Amino acid sequence: MSNGSIDKWRKKIDELDAELVKLLNERAKFAEEIGKLKSQIGLDAYSPEREEEIMENVAKQNPGPLSLQAIRRLYERIIDESRSVERSAMAKNRNLPNSRT
């Protein structure tokens, strides 16, 4: 196996990483909007039912080679960071004039 072959695969990983970062930030923007809405209607950022629904959805969509446990660990982090974005948006929304909380 040549270094050129490894470099080819690494380049593909780098391209995929760039796309993942873009998608994760897009997901965070959605979480931010949800946080604003939750603030307006008086909901908490933590929603265990929704988080379990997400876990079930991603488990169903996982063809491997990542194990279900690996997908679960990754999504636990993604959800945790999304919840942090939601909470930040909720706090900002509470401090805005004319916000209903």
Rounded to two decimals, the pTM is 0.83
**pLDDT confidence of residue 99:** 46
Q: Residue 89: which of 42, 55, 45 has the closest Cα? A: 45
Burial letters for 55-92: b for 16+ Cβ neighbours within 10 Å, e otherwise?
A: beeeeeeeeeeeeeeebeeebeebbeebbebbbebbee
Alpha helices by DSSP H, listed for 1-101, are 3-41, 48-60, 68-94
Structural domain spans, the chain? 3-94
Token representation of residue 49: 């039912």
- Mean pLDDT (whole number) for 80-90: 95
**pLDDT confidence of residue 98:** 54
pLDDT digit string (tens) for 36-76?
Answer: 999 999 999 999 999 999 999 999 999 999 999 999 999 99
Superfamily classification of domain 3-94: Chorismate mutase (1.20.59.10)
